[in-house]
């Protein structure tokens, strides 16, 4: 199979060859036609002038003799002249000597001046001539005018050879230039191909991708580099997710194994201990189920196939408030201002907003003030800001920068149920919608946690 470089060079040379041959052939034919027509026109004009001259003036063979004074005035230019006597014999031969036929002899004895007989393509030695015999009239003889046409054909053959040599040189130069140009054009593509093959062979995503220029190849290189970066980040996220999930699953599984081992001696335990054991098993099973569900949600968040559509985030907040109010019994209020419509995936946005409201209800379990959901748009051009406000214990300054990390739980929250994945899911949803999560302490106590949709990072 031919490489792109070879294909481009051969195509360039082929196109150049076709154009060069076409131009060369047309140019040669035009030049040859002009030369031949010019020679024929000149010869025809010479013969016609000679006929007019002998008709108008009584002339004898001596008037055309090469030894007569002024013969250069009566002998046509660019021609060979041979003079015939009244009987058709040669009285003044040309060089080379021209052949004399019976028709020429009869013309020499013709009584009418200007009578003519013409011969085409007559071989004289190694040359080809065109001959016209013009009668002087009154039986005084005739003049033969000849013009060599073989030298014209020799000239045209030389022109043809030079044209062929020139075309070959142009095609060769075009092939070499095409090869150089193809090498210059495909050099970066070859480097990108080598990088892609290296990734396929070694499965290393952190390779250096050569990116230069601002044309289509440069854009391809930058897109390939960004793609590798995202793949590397995705691979790192998956590795961390597996490691963190394995770490977090060890604790509930160990506790489950311990409690299950106690079930073998459940008959030996007092009734109070039995009830506590069963309650612990149920709580651990629920926490393990919640943890697995959140892991599945987190893993599927970036590959959500739900098509984006226009969503009114204020209406979405009202729906989430009703759902969480039914689950927790807490009072939840929703405030909305501005245009709260945005393009997004409703399922992912519902999951993120539910996590925020349920997280606020969990940490403000004994609170009496309502949990507030504020939706404002646009906070900046093209963005909608969603925030959940509670009056819980708030977030310590050292925890603000880590609350969205996977499995991270503040020290005072480790005794509460949960896996530490809820806010991480919020971050993934925000980033997937072109926004960013944010968290800060609320004046008067409590926390403000939320995210933006369709813009950059939000201000805290």
Q: Assign residue 212 a region: left if phi > 0, alpha if psi is -120 to 50, beta otherwise?
A: beta
What is the arithmetic mean of pLDDT over 78-87?
85
- Helices H / strands E in the chain, number of each: 10, 12
Q: What's the rounded Cα separation, in Å, for the pair 7 and 4?
A: 5
Q: What's the rounded Cα separation, in Å, for the pair 287 and 414?
A: 13
Q: Assign residue 393 a region: left if phi > 0, alpha if psi is -120 to 50, beta otherwise?
A: alpha
Domain limits, the chain:
1-56+150-198, 57-148, 205-303, 309-453
Reported confidence tier of residue 457, pLDDT bands at 50, 70, 90: very low
Among 120-124, 313-317, 421-425, which stretch is predicted with the lowest mean pLDDT?
A: 421-425
What is the arithmetic mean of pLDDT over 198-213?
75
Helix (H) or strand (E) holding 288: helix 271-301
pLDDT recorded at residue 319: 92
Architecture of domain 309-453: 2-Layer Sandwich (3.30)
pLDDT recorded at residue 297: 64
Question: Over the stretch 29-59, which tens digit does the pLDDT of each residue have?
Answer: 888 888 778 778 888 888 888 889 888 888 8
CB burial of residue 427 (10 Å; 0-12, 13-18, 19+): buried
> What's the CATH code, domain 205-303?
1.10.287.130
Higher pLDDT, 369 or 375: 375
**Residue in 427, 405, 429, 420 with CA at minimum distance from that of residue 347:** 429
What is the arithmetic mean of pLDDT over 406-416?
52
Question: Over the stretch 237-270, which tens digit does the pLDDT of each residue have?
Answer: 777 767 666 655 666 777 778 877 877 777 777 8
pLDDT recorded at residue 388: 93
pLDDT recorded at residue 214: 76
Instruction: Please give the backbone phi and psi of residue 379, each rounded to the nearest 5 degrees, phi first.
Output: -70, -35
Among 101-115, 116-130, 230-244, which stretch is predicted with the lowest mean pLDDT?
A: 230-244
Instruction: Please give the backbone phi and psi of residue 333, each rounded to the nearest 5 degrees, phi first.
Output: -110, 150
Same topology between domain 205-303 and domain 309-453? no
Instruction: Please give the backbone phi and psi of residue 76, each rounded to the nearest 5 degrees, phi first.
Output: -60, 145
């Amino acid at each position: 199979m031919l490489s792109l470089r070879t294909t481009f060079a051969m195509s360039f040379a082929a196109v150049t060859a076709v154009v060069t041959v076409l131009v060369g052939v047309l140019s040669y034919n035009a030049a040859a036609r002009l030369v031949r027509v010019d020679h024929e026109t000149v010869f025809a004009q010479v013969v016609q002038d000679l006929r007019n001259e002998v008709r108008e003036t009584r002339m004898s063979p001596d008037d055309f003799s090469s030894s007569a004074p002024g013969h250069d005035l009566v002998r046509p230019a660019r021609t060979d002249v041979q003079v015939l006597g009244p009987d058709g014999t040669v009285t003044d031969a040309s060089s080379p000597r021209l052949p004399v036929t019976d028709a020429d002899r009869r013309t020499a004895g013709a009584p009418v001046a200007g009578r003519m007989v013409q011969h085409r393509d007559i071989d004289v030695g190694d040359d080809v001539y065109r001959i016209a015999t013009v009668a002087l009239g009154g039986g005084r003889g005739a003049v033969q005018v000849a013009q060599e046409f073989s030298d014209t054909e020799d000239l045209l053959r030389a022109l043809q050879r030079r044209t062929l040599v020139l075309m070959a040189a142009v095609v060769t130069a075009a092939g070499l230039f095409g090869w150089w140009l193809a090498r210059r054009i495909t050099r970066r593509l070859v480097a990108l191909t080598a990088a892609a093959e290296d990734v396929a062979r070694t499965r290393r995503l952190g390779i250096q991708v050569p990116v230069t220029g601002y044309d289509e190849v440069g854009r391809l290189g930058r897109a390939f580099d960004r793609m590798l970066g995202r793949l590397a980040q995705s691979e790192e996220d998956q590795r961390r997710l597996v490691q963190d999930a394995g770490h977090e699953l060890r604790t509930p599984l160990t506790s489950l194994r311990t409690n299950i081992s106690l079930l073998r001696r459940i008959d030996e335990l007092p009734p109070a201990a039995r009830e506590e054991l069963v309650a612990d098993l149920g709580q651990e099973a629920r926490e393990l189920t919640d943890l697995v569900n959140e892991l599945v949600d987190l893993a599927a968040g970036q590959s959500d196939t739900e098509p984006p559509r226009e969503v009114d985030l204020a209406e979405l907040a009202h729906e989430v408030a009703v759902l969480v109010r039914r689950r927790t019994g807490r009072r939840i209020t929703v405030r909305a201002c501005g245009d709260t419509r945005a393009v997004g995936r409703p399922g992912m946005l519902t999951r993120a907003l539910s996590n925020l409201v349920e997280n606020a209800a969990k940490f403000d379990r004994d609170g009496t003030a309502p949990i507030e959901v504020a939706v404002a748009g646009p906070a900046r051009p093209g963005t909608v800001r969603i925030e959940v406000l509670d009056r819980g214990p708030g977030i310590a300054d050292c925890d603000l920068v880590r609350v969205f990390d996977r499995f991270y739980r503040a020290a005072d929250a480790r005794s509460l149920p949960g896996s530490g994945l809820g806010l991480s899911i919020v971050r993934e949803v925000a980033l997937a919608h072109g926004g960013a999560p944010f968290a800060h302490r609320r004046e008067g106590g409590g926390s403000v946690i939320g995210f933006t949709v369709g813009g950059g990072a939000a201000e805290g």
